[in-house]
Amino acid sequence: MSIVASGIAPHPPIIIPAIGRGELSRVKDTVDSLKLFSRQVALTNPETVILITPHGPMHRNAPAVLAGKKLEGDFAQFRAPEIQLHAANDLELVDAIEKETEKKGPGILRLDEEKGPGEASTLDHGISVPLYYLQEAGTGKQVVAITFAPLPYEDLFRFGQAMQKAVLKTGRRAAVVASGDLSHRLTRFAPAGFNPRGQEFDRQLVERVQNYDVKGLLHMDESLVYDAGECGLRSIIILLGCLEGLQVSPRVLSYEGPFGVGYLVASFMPQQKEAT
């Protein structure tokens, strides 16, 4: 099989009801869109969901992949320890990704039990937030968890292409979710402080996602990206590599930034070939 669903998901813990509580109404568009996207993914019946995060163990030379047999996450650091997530790790697909990405790229840094069960099995909030909604929709019981590396965009795009080959070789029905927030500098109360270029970055990125402008996303102005203080562009670029050569229907489901950080939910649903 191949990639059957994909998209972009933000990861602010405040969109988890037990954490956001009274503030949840301020991110209603994001919550509603993430629920819709998760239902869309579930309808494609993926065997494995690949999640790409900026907030797991990051290494300079290669993306890192959790390699523990069972993966777990919670929201204890956000005062909701009762919310716990569990998923099986698709180690066969991890093996295939390792082999394919070593052929024409940086390979992966495999975080296995020898490096400590915590590092090998713990899901960060960049994965746990979208996974919460995916599992609520009835999917995401088996995952692959990848943290991107701060490599050139072209290298990450090739990494995504190799991931697509790994999915094909294993015969998986896979969904790919790029987890990431946009500018953290939209207002003077934003977590990273205000920079007027943050709004321009978000405007350009959302427009290019809507138009599925892969070249435009690969060549975002470096100074604009830096000034925006974003965390999601590299996740998106790996996703775009995963979709290279596929017929894709892009759709921006929502964008908002009520707390000074841009939250984008978008779907890139590959069009499946009809059986003959």
Secondary structure (H, E, C), 37-54? HHHHHHHCCCCEEEEEEC
Question: Residues 258-270: pLDDT tens digits?
Answer: 999 999 999 999 9
pLDDT at position 273: 54
d(C-alpha 134, C-alpha 159), whole Å: 24
pLDDT at position 274: 45
pLDDT at position 105: 83
pLDDT at position 119: 79
pLDDT at position 233: 98
Topology of domain 3-270, CATH: Protocatechuate 4,5-dioxygenase; Chain B (3.40.830)
Contact by Cβ (8 Å): 170, 93: yes
pLDDT at position 189: 92
Cα 5 to Cα 35, 41, 43, 173, 219, distances in angstroms? 15, 6, 9, 9, 25
- Domain boundaries of the chain, sorted by first residue: 3-270
d(C-alpha 99, C-alpha 163), whole Å: 10
Q: Tell me if residue 188 falls in helix, strand or coil.
A: coil
d(C-alpha 230, C-alpha 245), whole Å: 27
CA dihedral 209, 214, 215, 220 (to 10 degrees): 40
d(C-alpha 10, C-alpha 166), whole Å: 26
CA atoms within 13 Å, Cβ hemisphere of 125: 18
* Single-letter residue type at 215: K
d(C-alpha 54, C-alpha 58), whole Å: 8
DSSP 206-253: HHHHHTT-HHHHHT--HHHHHHHT-S-HHHHHHHHHHTTTS-EEEEEE
CA 116 to chain centre: 24
* Listed residue (257, 243, 156) closest to 206, CA to CA: 257
pLDDT at position 275: 40
Strand pairing of 174-179 and 48-53? parallel
What is the chain's pLDDT, residue by residue, as a tens digit (276 residues)? Answer: 699 999 999 999 999 999 999 999 999 999 999 999 999 999 999 999 999 999 999 999 999 999 999 999 999 999 999 999 999 999 999 999 999 999 988 899 999 876 555 678 999 999 999 999 999 999 999 999 999 999 999 999 999 999 999 999 999 999 999 999 999 999 999 999 999 999 999 999 999 999 999 999 999 999 999 999 999 999 999 999 999 999 999 999 999 999 999 999 999 999 865 443
